[in-house]
Structure 1
Amino acid sequence: MTLSFIPELRTERLILRAPRETDFPAMLAFNDSPRAAFIGGGSPRQHVWRGLLANIGLWALRGYGFYSIDDHQGEFLGRIGVICHDGWPEPELAWHVYEQAEGKGYAYEAAQAAKADYHARISPQPLISLIDPANHRSAALAIRMGAKAEGDFHLAGHDCIIYRHTGGQP
């Protein structure tokens, strides 16, 4: 089944696409790895499944959500996009990049594409990223993208720092 309401984006090295059921095993592996510690990893299998479905619902309801990221050879590398769940202060540019994709600039490339798409289709308003204070790699990515630390926030039982990105062109 295709999710035609989710646009496909292409960058020099990546395809940002709609989520698929075949993404689920990699999502489970990420959830069960130490890499997911900053986003509440170790959730029960059913919560990961619900997260996959909730993302599709977010796309249907608001016109944005997480893209699944593939390289041009079709390897699933993670998820990046804009989310705004109940309890979020504003729409957030967020990312979950899997181990095999780390350190190659894929997160930056995909996040730039997702941000530009959001600003072109949804709103020129600046986005935020909510980042655990100990997640130095995510903070470095936000800063590389031009975001500035703005203040502290408490979300779903976790402390985080709000990084504000610049807005899109009106």
Structure 2
Amino acid sequence: MSVQVRPEGPEDEGAVAAVVTAAFTGAGAEPGPEAAFVHELRLEPGAYLARYSLVAVEDGVVVGHVLASRIHVGQAPALALAPVSVAPTHQRSGVGRQLVERVLAEATVAGETLVLVLGDPAFYGRFRFEPASEVGITGPYAGAEFMARRLAADAPVGEAVYSPVFGRLEAGRL
């Protein structure tokens, strides 16, 4: 399998919606709240950062997508990694790993200091994410799934404040 990771382009929006939907609800399903979440983040002033919206492509077909958007911890900028989506046919093949590694590399090069994620500790632990509470970060999420990856020694601590789009997703209003 030869998968290439590249920035998402405007022409990829429909394919991204299909991959996000398939990853969370199954192939052929109607677009669900996760696809609406990605769309709404693209429209949210200050939240969408095009450099952190990446697609995995195999033979010209989008098979994965990752998005990191702007949030704040205290007054400092940080990133929220969500969602990471891989087509069911490509899950457990390394595509998700490639996407996460690439977005973390892009964030590091850009001088970002902190990335937060709500996800499986077994998966994200591979990328040196650790419980957010252990590094001094609080926020709307709790538990072992609320994780942080410090990209710099001066990464902020404090309360994480997310885009309102996250709240609308949780409330089922997308």
Q: TM-score range by the shorter chain?
A: 0.5 to 0.7
- TM-score normalized with structure 1 length: 0.60
User: Mind listing any 5+ residue stretches in structure 1 that lack a counterpart?
Assistant: 1-11, 132-137
Identical pairs, percent: 11
2:35 & 2:124 partners in 1: Cα distance? Answer: 29
- TM-score normalized with structure 2 length: 0.59
The answer as to 2:125 corresponding to 1:139 is no
Q: 1:25 to 1:53 in 2, by over 3 A?
A: farther
For 1:129, the equivalent position in structure 2 comes to 117
User: Mind listing any 5+ residue stretches in structure 2 that lack a counterpart?
Assistant: 155-174
For 2:63, the equivalent position in structure 1 comes to 77
Contact 2:71–2:80 (CA under 8 A) maintained in structure 1: no
Q: Across the two proteins, how many residue pairs are aligned to each other?
A: 142
1:18 & 1:36 partners in 2: Cα distance? Answer: 22
Q: 1:34-53, CA deviations, whole angstroms, 9 ceiling, x for partnerless residues? A: 7259xxx7339876644555
Report which structure shows greater RCO (CA 8 Å, sep ≥6). 2
Deviation of the 1:54 alpha carbon: 5.0
Contact 1:69–1:78 (CA under 8 A) maintained in structure 2: yes
What letter matches 1:162 in structure 2? F
- Match of residue 78, structure 2, among 90, 102, 117: 90
Q: 1:164 to 1:99 in 2, by over 3 A?
A: same
Please give the root-mean-square deviation of Cα atoms over the aligned residues, in Å: 4.1
Q: 1:29 to 1:91 in 2, by over 3 A?
A: closer
Q: 1:87-110, CA deviations, whole angstroms, 9 ceiling, x for partnerless residues? A: 998312331222122100111122
Deviation of the 1:150 alpha carbon: 2.6
